Chains A and B, each alone.
Chain A
Amino acid sequence: MEKGVGKIMANQKQGTASQVVREQDKQKRDQAYNKYVKQKTPTFSTAKNTIKAFFIGGIICTMGQAFIAYYKYMGASEDTAKAYNTVTLVFLSILLTGLGIYQKLAKFGGAGTLVPITGFANSVAAPAVEYKKEGQVFGIGCKIFTIAGPVILYGIFLSWLLGLIYYILKQLKVA
């Protein structure tokens, strides 16, 4: 019983300035400091941000729906219409990035602009526009994928891995 109470009390005392200053062991002190900082660091009002993200993300996806409907109306098949929609959204995102509007929208919408493919497009356009001063090859060429690179790498790799598993499973079922 006493041990349990002691444990609770110890937990409560963790992560205070007092513990940070008094702790002799470096690892424990660092742990305490990290906990203490977390308490002291205010975060955004998540509710407001979530609503804004919901709203902006919803609008972008609705626009996508509208584009797909339009391209289908113009005679494209389902898949082709989706492809054209991708091109359209990417183009608009990059145009707005160049004009300096996308960044303002992103500040407001947060995940609402990051999650749709527009976020990916912006992450390719931003380095392209910034690094051109370092040259075509070593500036833009080398650094254009500095933010989006991981998306492509891990997207391709994971789908390859899953495809491999799928292939093996297929073989097993057949065999």
Chain B
Amino acid sequence: MSEQQNTKSKMVGKQSLMFQNPPIILASASIAGKKESEGPLGTLFDEIEEDPLLGKKTWEEAESELMRKAALKVLEKAGLASRDIRYLIGGDLLGQLIATSFGIGELEIPLLGIYGACSTMGEAMTLGSILVEGGFADRILAITSSHFAGAEKQFRTPLDYGNQRPYSASWTVTGSGAVIIADSSFAPKGNEAQIIIKGVTIGKIVDYGLKDSMNMGAAMAPAAFETIKQNFEDFGVDPSYYDKIITGDLGYVGKQILIDLLKEKNFDISANHMDCGIEIFDQDNQDTHAGGSGCGCSAITFSSYILKQLREGTWKRVLFMPTGALLSQVSFNEGNSVPGIAHAVIVERR
């Protein structure tokens, strides 16, 4: 088979890729904040940071510290040093990605900074697996983070401002999640099952004209709808192909909308849909309204809970699809709607 034929057959359908030599997930790490530790997944995170400032002077530095710790933790769990990682692909919610730049700079790993809002983990893992499977990297680190205070300050209001949050508002997760994706040749010897990335579906910007910055779930649901639909079409599968179809932070409101929209296309995902934003907090006891959000939400849920289920064999194949809202304060104030995007990664146990 010629090189050209090889490359051609990896492109599947309109927006997807199927890897012939699927990269493996070597290790994962999750660092979470206090509120997250008090949630349903609290015991699964690698480390909990009780101090919201993590001993630093500002919220932004605290988020950088979260990232740094997540990166170091995932290296430790993989038994690797930073020099073993060819590229680090990561991003965060802060302007100009300062949490990432100041967080992982000292690790001296070549950096590809990306912005996907809350879909960053999906985007990072997508790009990472493409680089590895294409032979452009042997091991990469995909990482992202978010911090409640930093996000609130940038996108909403200063923390001490006394306001009531509407029911549709979500709670930005304080946490950082990281995974190391490597070429399959790095799989440890032995009978242990490997977690592989079988394929990806790269999302388009989808904007159904919603202008409510306090209802992110509804703003992103169309993007999730279109990427999932495209994934089914490109790969020629239906919802039952996956044990779980996992969105990042659609929350309770967005979840319902997504299920409704897909039903119109004769895809019923109500049985196996899961949302990280819903799983990460206890709605009744933690007063988190629509659920968790932020880059960290999908990242730490994936790195802890989802991978655990895959490793233990509870699930065999999942579609991991974080969703992002690509607005800014300026775009919103200038009267624009909220464009959404969703990137899907097929993660399988083999």
Contacts and interface: CB of A to CB of B under 8 A. Distances in A.
A29 interface: yes
Interface stretch (A4-12, A118-126, A159-167): A118-126
A20 interface: yes
B160 A100 contact: yes
Nearest to B57: A133
A4 B262 CA distance: 32
A37 B218 contact: yes
A135 B336 CA distance: 32
Contacts, number: 101
B163 A127 contact: no
A41 B207 CA distance: 18
Contact of B160 (A33, A36, A113, A125): A125
Contact of B164 (A102, A107, A146): A107
B161 A103 contact: yes
A170 interface: no
A31 B158 contact: no
B264 A106 contact: no
B215 A97 contact: no
A1 B196 CA distance: 63
A113 B167 contact: no
A129 B160 contact: yes
B257 A44 contact: no
A78 interface: no
Nearest to A146: B158
B150 to A, nearest CB: 11
Contacts of A127: 158, 161
B260 A17 contact: yes
Nearest to B164: A110
B209 interface: yes
A131 B158 contact: yes
A34 B159 CA distance: 30
Contacts of B215: 37, 41
Contacts of B172: none
B333 to A, nearest CB: 12
B157 interface: yes
B162 A147 contact: no
A118 B168 CA distance: 26
B265 interface: yes
Nearest to A110: B164
B163 A106 contact: yes
Contact of B162 (A22, A27, A119, A130): A119
Interface in A32-90: 33-34, 36-37, 40-44, 49
Contact of A126 (B159, B164, B210, B222): B159
Contact of B210 (A37, A123, A146): A37
B208 A33 contact: yes
A15 to B, nearest CB: 12
Contacts of A44: 164, 166-167
Interface of A: 17-18, 20-22, 27, 29-31, 33-34, 36-37, 40-44, 49, 97-98, 100, 102-103, 105-107, 110, 113-114, 119, 122-123, 125-127, 129-131, 133, 146-147
13 contacts: A21-B264, A21-B265, A30-B209, A33-B222, A37-B218, A41-B215, A42-B167, A42-B253, A102-B160, A106-B162, A114-B163, A122-B162, A127-B161
Interface of B: 57-58, 153, 157-164, 166-168, 207-210, 212, 215, 218, 222, 253, 256-257, 260-261, 263-265, 337
Pairs A-B, 7 closest by C-beta atoms? A106-B162, A30-B209, A130-B158, A17-B260, A126-B160, A126-B161, A21-B264
